[in-house]
Amino acid sequence: MSPLMPKLELLPAVDVRDGQAVRLVHGESGSETSYGDPLEAALAWQRSGAEWLHLVDLDAAFGTGDNRAQIAEVARSMDIKVELSGGIRDDDTLAAALATGCRRVNLGTAALETPEWVAKVIAEHGDQIAVGLDVRGTTLRGRGWTRDGGDLYETLARLDTEGCARYVVTDINKDGTLQGPNLELLRNVCAATDRPVVASGGVSSLDDLRALATLVPEGVEGAIVGKALYAKAFTLEEALAAVS
Ligand SMILES: O=C(O)c1ccccc1NCC(=O)[C@H](O)[C@H](O)COP(=O)(O)O
């Protein structure tokens, strides 16, 4: 990689359901495989050299409760940057999320259901706010990916106008499947916005990460990696070396 080209950031994922680190398939509730204590998982990624942690409260996303105290403990225990996601939809949940000291939060459902509030918090918090664009095809999904929420490109144009700093783009059909990322979707989103894009869902191999790294000049800034790390398809050290 050219010394002038920024490297692809890697964000190992810790998704929390009912107090456990889990992986889902297609983000579907009930498809969980459990991987134990979330704090242990997060500390392991930090020890392995991660610069970012992608931390998700799945219960808050699904509306089946929350893991707020545990999520806050994990976020506060990290020396690395934390991106927090799941169920952040109003002033209270946003304040609680930011109070953990996380570097940024991802809003998903709120961007579809309460766009005025999202425009307001983008104006207030700048690049501490990212929006998760979780899609099947080009249709956005909210409420833990269970409900349709409009057209990807219309929403992207609106959020760009409102000053959204960054997007986390997930192809739900790929998420948790180890089938490889949707590079075409990522290219299309990058062509539609000048904001950085974090790719999420489907990474299965070091070659997938190298393929994502080729999209850095188009606007892909980072990649979230979940299942592949838990399934030991490669180590985080190998992943970081592959994109450095
Ligand atoms: O991020 C959310 O809010 C969310 C809501 C409902 C279901 C899943 C959700 N996130 C999942 C993730 O962010 C995954 O950790 C990520 O896409 C990694 O996917 P993979 O590498 O395919 O395991």
Going by DSSP bridges, is the β-strand pair 20-23/33-34 parallel, antiparallel, or unpaired?
antiparallel
Structure-token pair, residue 27 = 């983000």
Q: What is the pLDDT of residues 173-200, one digit of tens each?
A: 999 999 999 999 999 999 999 999 999 9
Q: What is the pLDDT of residues 156-179, one digit of tens each?
A: 999 999 999 999 999 999 999 999
Radius of gyration of the chain (CA): 16
Residue range(s) defining the domain that contains residue 61:
9-237
Please identify, by atom number, the ligand 1 atom nearest to the C-alpha of residue 23.
Answer: 23
Residue 207 forms part of a structural domain: yes
Q: What is the pLDDT of residues 61-107, one digit of tens each?
A: 999 999 999 999 999 999 999 999 999 999 999 999 999 999 999 99
Pick the residue whose CA is nearest to atom 7 on ligand 1.
Answer: 27
Indicate whether this model's pTM tops 0.90. Answer: yes
Q: Write out 168-219 in H/E/C secondary structure.
A: EEEECCCCCCCCCCCHHHHHHHHHHCCCCEEEECCCCCHHHHHHHHCCHHHC
CATH of the domain at 132: 3.20.20.70
How many other C-beta atoms are found inside a 10 Å radius of the C-beta of residue 241? 12
Q: Taking the chain, what is the end-to-end CA distance rounded to the nearest angstrom? A: 7
Residue 2 forms part of a structural domain: no
Residue 4 forms part of a structural domain: no
Residue 242 forms part of a structural domain: no
Residue 1 forms part of a structural domain: no
Question: Which candidate in 57, 59, 134, 171 is catalytic?
Answer: 134
* 134 belongs to the catalytic site: yes
Residue 179 forms part of a structural domain: yes
Would you say the CB of residue 176 lies under 6 angstroms from ligand 1?
A: yes
Would you say the CB of residue 175 lies under 6 angstroms from ligand 1?
A: yes
Would you say the CB of residue 142 lies under 6 angstroms from ligand 1?
A: no
The per-residue pLDDT for 29 is: 87
If one counts the domains in the chain, the total is 1
What is the ipTM metric for this complex? Answer: 0.94
Residue 204 forms part of a structural domain: yes
Closest to 39 (Cα-Cα) out of 60, 61, 11, 67 = 67
Residue 148 forms part of a structural domain: yes
